[in-house]
Chains A and B, each alone.
Chain A
Amino acid sequence: GIQVEQSPPDLILQEGANSTLRCNFSDSVNNLQWFHQNPWGQLINLFYIPSGTKQNGRLSATTVATERYSLLYISSSQTTDSGVYFCAVPMIKAAGNKLTFGGGTRVLVKP
């Protein structure tokens, strides 16, 4: 099946810093999602981004499908940005478009 790798696995930021998270995938995909899992376990949809660039406040994402990677940018980080960030891609040929999740990037933003 498709492999999804995220880097870095862990990230410690000082409040106000910027950062870039990366998601590499091993096969062509027709869409990609970024999620933030907060410390309570809630999984929040951040972006549905098969290609191109999208922005939502301090967060933005870019997917280059032809090169099989996506980037999530966090600018002016805040303590509430702490948690785990996952990217996920569907297995195109799988029934129901099951999602494959990367291992996640654990982010801690210090005040």
Chain B
Amino acid sequence: GAVVSQHPSWVICKSGTSVKIECRSLDFQATTMFWYRQFPKQSLMLMATSNEGSKATYEQGVEKDKFLINHASLTLSTLTVTSAHPEDSSFYICSARRGAQPQHFGDGTRLSIL
């Protein structure tokens, strides 16, 4: 149980385009979803927290207009990297939790901007 699916797993796109990443909780309703970013050989850094039906809460230093988060249902959250540039290249990981239960993580999305 507690499966979180993230799609796509890998994406390459041109500079200036927007990229959408989906995070789905497959077998539970996620009251809260989280988005992390991980640079090579570094730890996970929390970008934002989203609760179903409300606006996401962004961590300090994360541009909310660059990283648009939508949590439209209890099983789906999306992260859109708008007008992506090479410095946005990274590994993005989502997680989901129900109530006070532990977070369960997706397999991550490797984003490369050319």
Binds A, one of B19-27, B62-70, B77-85, B97-105: B97-105
Q: Which of A41, A42, A43, A97 has the most CB of B within 10 A?
A: A43
B51 at the interface (CB under 8 A from A): yes
Report Cα–Cα, A41/B91, bound state, in Å: 8
Q: Which residue of A lies closest to B33 (CB)?
A: A96
What B residues does A95 contact at CB under 8 A?
49, 57
Q: Which residue of B lies closest to A103 (CB)?
A: B43
Report Cα–Cα, A104/B44, bound state, in Å: 9
A48 pairs with B43, CB closer than 8 A:
no
Checking B57, B102, B107 against A45 with a beta-carbon cut-off of 8 angstroms, the contacting residue is B102
A43 pairs with B102, CB closer than 8 A:
no
Q: Which residue of B lies closest to A91 (CB)?
A: B46
B32 pairs with A43, CB closer than 8 A:
no
What B residues does A102 contact at CB under 8 A?
43
A98 at the interface (CB under 8 A from B): yes
Report Cα–Cα, A106/B34, bound state, in Å: 24
B76 at the interface (CB under 8 A from A): no
Interface range, A side: 20 to 34
Checking B32, B51, B102, B107 against A42 with a beta-carbon cut-off of 8 angstroms, the contacting residue is B107
Q: Which of B42, B43, B51, B91 has the most CB of A within 10 A?
A: B43
Please give the number of chain B residues whose Cβ is less than 8 angstroms from any Cβ of chain A in the complex: 24
Q: Which residue of A lies closest to B101 (CB)?
A: A48
A86 at the interface (CB under 8 A from B): yes
Question: Using an 8 Å CB-CB cutoff, how does the interface string of A28-69 with B read, 1 for contact, 0 for none?
Answer: 000101010000111101001000000000000000000000
* 19 cross-chain CB contacts under 8 A: A31-B102, A40-B107, A41-B91, A42-B108, A43-B108, A45-B104, A48-B102, A86-B43, A86-B44, A96-B32, A96-B34, A96-B51, A98-B34, A98-B49, A99-B46, A101-B45, A102-B43, A103-B42, A106-B41
B interface with A by C-beta (< 8 Å): 32, 34, 38, 41-46, 49, 51, 57, 91, 93, 95, 97, 100, 102-105, 107-108, 110
